[in-house]
């Protein structure tokens, strides 16, 4: 039995996936002025490396991609801890 077959019964358990695109400090005034459709400018752009976390643990890294009008993440590397 392969490792994937051994954990197959866990396939449908939901886990949180966090992708850290950027961080920004904003004043309370700026936050209160946000409305639906507001845009918060960030310094990162497509193609830059980002960290991907699953359940709070670093899974690996990826890069920001834009597909049509959607921002996504392409996984480029998995974290291999010894």
pLDDT digit string, tens, across residues 64-74 = 888 888 888 89
Q: Which residues contact 24 (CB under 8 A, 6 or more apart)?
A: 40, 42
For tokens 């039995």, name the residue: 1
The pLDDT assigned to 82 comes to: 53
If DSSP codes are grouped into helix, strand and coil, which group holds residue 1? Answer: coil
Of the options 2.170.190.11, 2.60.40.420, 2.60.40.10, 2.30.330.10, the CATH number for the domain spanning 14-78: 2.30.330.10
Element (H, E) at 29: helix 28-32
* C-alpha torsion 66→71→73→74, nearest 10: -20
Phi, psi dihedrals of residue 30, rounded to the nearest 5°: -65, -40
Distance, CA of 37 to chain centre: 21
Interval 30-44 mean pLDDT:
89
């Amino acid at each position: 039995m392969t490792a994937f077959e051994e954990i197959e019964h866990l396939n449908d358990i939901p886990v949180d996936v966090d992708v850290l695109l950027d961080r920004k400090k904003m004043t309370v005034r700026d936050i209160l002025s946000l409305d639906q459709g507001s845009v918060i400018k960030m310094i990162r752009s497509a193609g830059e490396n980002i960290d991907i976390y699953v359940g709070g643990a670093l899974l690996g890294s990826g890069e920001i991609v834009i597909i049509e009008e959607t921002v996504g993440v392409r996984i480029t590397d998995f974290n291999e801890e010894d």
